[in-house]
A and B are shown apart, each in its own frame.
Chain A
Amino acid sequence: MVTAPLTLLARIVDPPLRLWQRWTGLNGMAAFFLLPNMAIFGVFVLIPLALNFVYSTTAGTNILLRDRSYVGAEQYARLLDCANYLEPLTCREDQFWTAASNTLVFVIFQVSLMIAVSLITALILNREIRGRSFFRAVFFFPVLLSPVVVGLIWKWILQRQGLLNLMMVNLGLEPEVWLNDRFYSFVATIGVSTWAHMGFYTLILLAGLQAIPKDLYEAAEMDATPPTRVFRRITLPLLGPNLAVVLVLALIRGVQIFDEVFVLTGGGPGTSTLYLTQYIYEVGFASLLRNPGLAAAASIVMGAVLVVLTLAQLSLSRRSERAGER
């Protein structure tokens, strides 16, 4: 009896389906099938987001809401209370503004470097080079590592008695305190986060490059087009949509940078590599005078900046796409 298990299953599955369909009609069935996914999204994203907003309007060191007092927009006012926005030390929450300006500088350099390195790597891996598959895998491996592992690996390399200094001593060079230097540690956070994530962006760009028909390059070759002009006039415009995706993703991830940096430098020396997410973490959970309300307000501000950046980028890329169709 092949149909017996099916009949049994039907007895379990059919009644709720039939009930739902009676309530909502056939169109409502789409909602029914989306429901499990939406439930997960709701529990882990939407509800926390709403709770985060509620917390940002309260004050106190307690986590339980009933122990907290409603203060309205006071936490936001505290965050934004600044004599001169360009000088973090004149602000009431100077750490927030230090972290914000650090993050801004980090994002500008890291995203630029990320796009440049991923693009160059993708261009090279797109050529018929020996061991292409091997290199494609090698550049992707760091993406598979946990950020904490990435942070630890590079800490072993860069710390005072780390691999890099060992090699420098062997070469007769003076060892350097890489992670205790404001400049070097900042550069290290940019380099390590780029190393860890470039494989992913390289993959996106490589897919874009491979989607460009080979004929176009041959036509350009017949037309005696110099390689730089081929890149500028053919490769770059046709890679535009992929570059836009890479830019948005790299921007979002750059602003949210936390784990690798936290393991690698812990935000130091001083506050030289203190970025926004770490600030939020420390204010909310790690400091003695923890202030979950302030942390929630800071994360809402950061989220708003990300939304604005993403929307601006999306509208730009849509406009250029439409211009492309025209």
Chain B
Amino acid sequence: MATLSLKDIRKSFAGIEVIHGVDLSVKDGELVVFVGPSGCGKSTLLRLIAGLDRPTSGTIELDGRDVTGVNAADRGLAMVFQSYALYPHMTVRQNLSFGLENTRMPKAEIARRVDEAGRMLEIGELMNRRPTQLSGGQRQRVAIGRAIVREPSAFLLDEPLSNLDAELRVTMRAELAQLHERLATTMIYVTHDQVEAMTLADRIVVLRGGRIEQVDTPLGLYNQPANLFVAGFIGAPNMNLFPATARDGQAELPGGLRIDTGPGAARDGKVTIGIRPQHMHLAEAGEQTLEGRVELVERLGAETVVHAVTAEGTTFVTVLAGQPEVAMGDTLHVTPDRGQVHVFDADGQRVARD
């Protein structure tokens, strides 16, 4: 059990700063997911928390204790590596007990913990095998088991599912969620997969270029993205973004559709209007519409993804429920759900419309 707090963390490699002052606090028992594109600094941040690297400046606190200068070994954390990092010459049992033997724990206690982890992760049958004799999913379980037996105050997981095939990833994702439920231990989880982030996280930290873009619950990020980057990163297909010019709190989209930009910062000047593909419906008679020529139709059964391009050449995507009669070359008339439209100012920051 642990709370974690990062204060103005900076990290440079060879004089180049890659983490630019990160502040974050993680509550006890929380599952926080770091998500962002490659090179955003999420793994670096995790390694700083683990103690495998030291920050250039800033402080890291665990349960209120400053651990910035404390060795990885003495932080009481356990890490699951992307490559699993299982010792290839040891059996599963030896892999699980190796870390505990360092603490001079009685043999009986080590055996108890290893057996319990084996039962929990259903790898009891594999105890005498070596990692090379295990499938990807089994290795993943052993790697998690090695973290569990240590009963750490927090788990750090670095893209633990990225080496698994798609089907297994879904299964393991669900198992990880259950595991967190059962252990109720703080977990920091790094991934570049937004679906993993959305399904597992209590809170998501969206990172870009070594800075935090937004910290919120999965639905908070989806419903109220703080800026254009988060808006574009979370949600699939990506949010449609229409550049527009606001006048007197009104912006006009291609095709003449008018959107309220509110009385605040985006009353006048350049704005970006964001509409998620799922937040549009086929226009009914008398409704203001967004108009486009259909370029591609993807029929998924439960829903239909339609790619269209406006007369001005702006492309947009809409996800329509069911199996509507839409064909390539048709003219599509859709209307956004007014309450679900996002407005961003010239700097790309979210603007409250009320």
- Name A's B-contacting residues (CB within 8 A): 213, 215-216, 218-226, 229, 233-234, 237-238, 324-326
A221 touches B85 (CB 8 A): no
Query: Which residues of chain B are near A224, meaning CB under 8 Å?
Result: 73-74, 99, 102-103
Contact with A along B59-95 (1 / 0, CB 8 A): 0000000000001111001110101010111000000
- A-B contacts, 9 of them at CB < 8 A, read A213-B83, A216-B85, A220-B98, A222-B72, A222-B78, A223-B98, A224-B73, A238-B89, A325-B130
* Set of chain A residues within 8 Å of B78, measured between Cβ atoms: 222
Indicate if the CB atoms of A325 and B132 lie closer than 8 Å.
yes
B110-137 at interface with A (beta carbon < 8 Å): 130, 132
- Which residue of the partner chain A has the closest CB to B94? A233
Nearest CB on B from A258, distance (A): 38
Question: Is there a chain A Cβ closer than 8 Å to B52's Cβ?
Answer: yes
| B101 CB to nearest A CB, Å | 8
What's the Cα separation between A229 and B74 when bound, in Å?
A: 17
Given contacts A215-B81, A226-B102, A233-B98, whether A221 and B73 have CB atoms under 8 Å apart is yes
Complex Cα distance, B96 from A223, in Å, reads: 11
CA distance A324 to B241 in the complex (A): 57
Given the known A-B contacts A325-B132, A326-B130, are A225 and B102 also in contact in the complex, defined by CB atoms under 8 Å?
yes
**A221→B102 CA distance, assembly (Å):** 11
Q: Is B281 engaged at the interface, CB distance under 8 Å to the other chain?
A: no
Contacts of B74 in A (CB 8 A): 224
Does B89 lie within 8 Å of A215, measured CB to CB?
no
**Residue B305 lies at the interface, judged by CB distance under 8 Å to chain A:** no
Top 8 closest A-B pairs, CB basis?
Answer: A223-B99, A224-B73, A215-B85, A219-B85, A237-B89, A222-B79, A221-B72, A215-B83
CB B154 to nearest CB in A, in angstroms, measures 12
Q: Is the CB of B73 within 8 A of A218?
A: no
Total contacts A-B at CB 8 Å = 58
Known contacts A224-B102, A225-B102, A325-B132: does B85 contact A218 (CB below 8 Å)? yes
CA distance A213 to B77 in the complex (A): 21
Asked if residues A222 and B77 are in contact (CB atoms below 8 Å), the reply is yes
Q: State the main secondary structure of chain A at its contact with B.
A: helix
B270 CB-CB contact with A under 8 Å = no
CA distance A219 to B51 in the complex (A): 12
Interface check B50, CB cutoff 8 A: yes
| Set of chain A residues within 8 Å of B73, measured between Cβ atoms | 221-225
Give the distance to chain A from B75, nearest Cβ to Cβ, in Å: 9
Q: Which residues of A contact B85 (CB under 8 A)?
A: 213, 215-216, 218-219
Closest Cβ–Cβ distance, residue B67 to chain A (whole Å): 14
Question: Which chain B residues lie closer than 8 Å to A219 at the CB level?
Answer: 79, 81, 85, 87, 146
Smallest beta-carbon distance A223→chain B, Å: 3
Q: Does B150 contact A (CB under 8 A)?
A: yes
Bound complex: CA of A41 vs CA of B183, how far in Å?
67
CA distance A238 to B89 in the complex (A): 7
Residue of B52, B71, B89, B103 near A218 (CB, 8 A) is B52
Collect the chain A residues with CB atoms within 8 Å of residue B83's CB: 213, 215
| Chain A residues whose CB sits within 8 angstroms of the CB of B72 once the complex forms | 218, 221-222
Contact B130 A225 (CB under 8 A): no
* Chain A residue with Cβ nearest B73: A224
Assembly CA distance A132 to B102 (angstroms): 32
A221 to B50, CA, bound (A): 10
Q: Name the residue on A nearest B95 (C-beta).
A: A219
If the complex has contacts A213-B85, A215-B85, are A223 and B150 also in contact, measured as CB distance less than 8 A? yes
- Chain A hits for B87, CB < 8 A: 216, 219, 233-234
Determine how close the nearest CB of chain B comes to the CB of A326; give it in whole angstroms: 7
Report A78 CB to chain B, min CB distance, Å. 49
A85 to chain B, nearest CB (A): 41
- Minimum CB–CB distance from B49 to chain A (whole Å) comes to 11
Distance between B129 CB and nearest chain A CB, rounded to angstroms = 9
Which residue of B52, B89, B98, B132 is within 8 Å of A221 (Cβ)?
B52
Q: Which residues does chain B contribute within 8 Å of A220, judged by CB atoms?
A: 98
Please give me the residue from chain A that is nearest to B147 by CB atom: A222
**B99 lies within 8 A of A225 (CB):** yes
A324, B89: Cβ atoms under 8 Å? Answer: yes
Which chain A positions have C-beta within 8 A of B98?
220, 223, 225, 233
- For the complex formed, measure the closest distance between the CB of A278 and the CB atoms of chain B, giving whole angstroms: 42
Apart from A224-B99, A325-B130, A326-B130, list 14 A-B contacts with CB within 8 A: A215-B83, A218-B52, A218-B85, A219-B81, A220-B98, A221-B52, A222-B72, A222-B77, A223-B99, A223-B150, A224-B103, A225-B102, A234-B87, A324-B130
The distance from the CB of A224 to the nearest CB of chain B, in whole angstroms, is: 3
Would you give the shortest CB distance from A39 to chain B, in whole angstroms? 42
Chain A residue contacts of B150, Cβ below 8 A: 223
Given contacts A213-B83, A238-B88, A325-B130, are A222 and B102 in contact (CB under 8 A)? no
What is the bound-complex CA distance between A225 and B99, given in angstroms?
7
Residues of B near A225 (CB, < 8 A) are 73, 98-99, 102
On chain A, the residues within 8 Å of B132 by CB distance are: 325
A225 to B102, CA, bound (A): 6
Given A218-B52, A238-B89, are A223 and B102 neighbors across the interface (CB < 8 Å)?
yes
The answer to whether residues A229 and B102 also contact, given A218-B52, A222-B77 and a CB cut-off of 8 A, is yes
CA distance A221 to B79 in the complex (A): 10
B76's nearest neighbour on chain A, judged by CB, is A224
Q: How far is the CB of B62 from chain A (nearest CB, A)?
A: 14
> Would you list which residues of chain B between 130 and 153 have a CB under 8 Å from chain A?
130, 132, 146, 150
Known: A215-B81, A233-B98, A238-B89. A222 touches B50 (CB 8 A): yes
Give the Cβ gap from B90 to chain A, nearest Cβ, in Å. Answer: 8
**Chain B residues near A326 (CB, 8 Å)?**
130
B101 and chain A: residue at smallest CB distance: A229
Q: CA of A237 to CA of B89 in the docked complex: distance in angstroms?
A: 7
Contacts of A229 in B (CB 8 A): 102
User: Contacts of B50 on A, CB cut-off 8 Å?
Assistant: 222
Nearest CB on A from B224, distance (A): 37
B77 partner residues in chain A, CB cutoff 8 A: 222
- Nearest-neighbour CB distance to chain B for A241, whole angstroms, equals 11
Query: Closest CB of chain B to A34's CB: distance in Å?
Result: 34
A119 CB to nearest chain B CB (Å): 18
Q: Which residues of B contact A218 (CB under 8 A)?
A: 52, 72, 79, 81, 85
